Amino acid sequence: MDTNFFKMFQEAKSHLELGMSKDIQAFFEGRNDIKNHIIEMKNEGIIFINIKLYDFSRKLSKELFLEFVGFVGYSRYNLFINENEENIDRYLYLTKSSNISGVKMEIVIS
């Protein structure tokens, strides 16, 4: 993964607002393409989301991630970097609005 982005990601402050927490949960409700998902908060203030699809494909994984960003992303900026393995996509995602600190996420889709 790109070292400049990784440095910026590590240095960014992360704070999970109640509204963002509810938006993340709402995104996963009633979806037929997701077998299961786990959402955890890491000590570093990073939200870890592990998504297991019924039928993994790179196309579906990318579409799901971009839909997620469109659903939960704040207005000031949405930055991400991803790494593809054989049947796994990993994303580091940072979103921020102008009046609150950012939210950092590590998302794994398989």
Residue numbers in the chain where pLDDT is lower than 70: 1-3, 6, 8, 14-19, 100
Q: Can you give the pLDDT at residue 16? A: 67
Domain spans in the chain, listed from the N-terminal domain onward: 3-109
Query: pTM (2 decimals)?
Result: 0.86
Distance (Å, whole) CA 36 – CA 28 = 9
pLDDT at position 65, please? 97
Question: Domain 3-109 adopts which CATH fold?
Answer: Beta Polymerase; domain 2 (3.30.460)
- List the strands of the sheet with 77-84, edge to edge: 34-41, 46-53, 103-109, 89-96, 77-84
Only one residue has tokens 């960014």, namely 12
